Amino acid sequence: MVIRGTDDTLRSDRTPEFARRTDTGGWRLSWLPEYTLSREQAWAGMELDELVSDLAAVHDRLAHAEISARADVLGILWQQALIKLAKRIDARQRGEEPAAGESVPDPPAQLSRLRPPRSMHEDRAPQAYHG
């Protein structure tokens, strides 16, 4: 996994997704264009995309935890991120690549709204789901 960053863009060597700085100084992810993010959030979004794109990690619990942590930095559910990324992959495979800044519609069920950003280094008790 290599993410290359400049002052204005973040690009992956593994996926076609990217992040770009806006005119106002915020950041937008190609797969989550409806939200203006901090650079830290954009970087986390790029890492999340790379983690999801690693097919060898499908059954890796540590990778699942990393995906969840990156989604938490973005303020979205990891399931919501997977749906958005899967829709973009599907659109590309059908030759219908969404234009930069255009989002593929979400599923009809309401998912989470963005929460205030959390630093990946913020001290908090780990949460576990036992269900």
What is the C-alpha to C-alpha distance for residues 6 and 40, in angstroms, rounded to an integer?
A: 13
- pLDDT single digits (tens) 21-39: 999 999 999 999 999 999 9
pTM here is 0.72
Share of the chain above pLDDT 90, in %: 57
Nearest one of 79, 77, 81, 73 to 38, comparing CA atoms? 73
